[in-house]
Amino acid sequence: MIEKTVRKRSLRDLSEVKENLAYWLSRTPEERIAEVERLRRQNHGSVTRLQGIARTIQRKPRRPHKNRRLRAG
């Protein structure tokens, strides 16, 4: 069963969120992207891009189940 949760927040917190939203919506897209880039560098260093990790695995081909027919095609 899902537990019901209630969180009380002050109206001051909500007005602060609205003020932040209004501020960033008043900035140009270039200014917003520049700020995201500044925050990224602050958290991840001056690496020009975030590293991606990928791994390829080889699987054995699956054998069809003995009760299933192979599809023509």
- The tens digit of pLDDT for each residue in 13-71 reads 788 888 889 999 999 999 999 999 898 888 877 766 656 777 788 888 877 777 766 66
Number of domains forming the structure of the chain: 1
Radius of gyration of the chain (CA): 26
Is 4 inside any structural domain?
A: no
In this prediction, residue 23 carries a pLDDT of: 93
Is 63 inside any structural domain?
A: no
Please return the burial class of 40, using the count of CB atoms within 10 Å of its CB with bins 0-12, 13-18 and 19+.
middle
Is 30 inside any structural domain?
A: yes
In this prediction, residue 43 carries a pLDDT of: 82
Kindly list the distances between the CA atom of residue 38 and the CA atoms of 14, 25, 32, 55, in Å, as whole numbers in the listed order.
26, 18, 10, 30
Range of the domain at 31: 11-40
Is 50 inside any structural domain?
A: no
CB distance 64 to 70 below 8 Å:
yes
